[in-house]
Amino acid sequence: MGLQFHPERMRHPDTDQFDYPGCPKAYQEFVKAVIAYQKKLNSTTNSLPKTLKLNQEMEKKRKVILRSFSLARDMYTAGKEISPSKASELKAGAEFLESNTALSLQQEIRLKQMGATVRNAGSYLEKLKLNEGRERLARNLMGKMAVEQLSDLLSFYRMMGQICSEVLERKLNGIVNDIEAS
């Protein structure tokens, strides 16, 4: 249960006199507690580590990614297509979002210090471990294959990639055409 003081309700109108004996003392203790709590809050915010200074290269990358996200947001809110000259600027943000690299321990600690949380982090880590296992298994299997088999496998996956790109493009164009029609 919280303690609340309403000094305006405890005083006589237009005076500094309190209705109940002992009210000034309780109120003064309350004010002292508030001031102490405020000092405690200020001291903890001052003890936080200083912001990380990025070198010029990392700062430049950060700005490029930020610009990409800004363009994507503007494109989304305006509901318009972006000009081809600016389309290349979106690539950095897309690559950043598509990257499937796990955070280093230092990055994870830094994000936690900033108050960031990751939703479904457990399922993400599980998926990451599963992908690593699959990759290891595929490498072992391919290491045992002959050069001819590897060449056939590579051409097959290139063909499948091309087919997938074409079908995906058709579906996305169909979705865009459906939206424009309505």
Give pLDDT tens digits for 60-107. 887 888 888 788 878 777 777 777 777 778 787 777 766 656 666 666
Q: Is residue 80 one of the residues assigned to a domain?
A: yes
Q: Is residue 33 one of the residues assigned to a domain?
A: yes
16 and 38 belong to one structural domain? yes
Closest by CA position to 61, among listed 18, 91, 100, 105: 91
Q: Is residue 169 one of the residues assigned to a domain?
A: no
Three-state DSSP at 155 gives helix
Structural domain containing residue 136: 118-154
Number of structural domains, the chain? 3
Residue 87 to residue 81: CA distance in whole angstroms: 9
pTM beyond 0.85: no
Q: Answer yes or no: is pLDDT of 21 > 70.
A: no
Give pLDDT tens digits for 5-15. 565 556 666 76
Q: Is residue 42 one of the residues assigned to a domain?
A: yes
Q: Is residue 147 one of the residues assigned to a domain?
A: yes
Q: Answer yes or no: is pLDDT of 4 > 60.
A: no
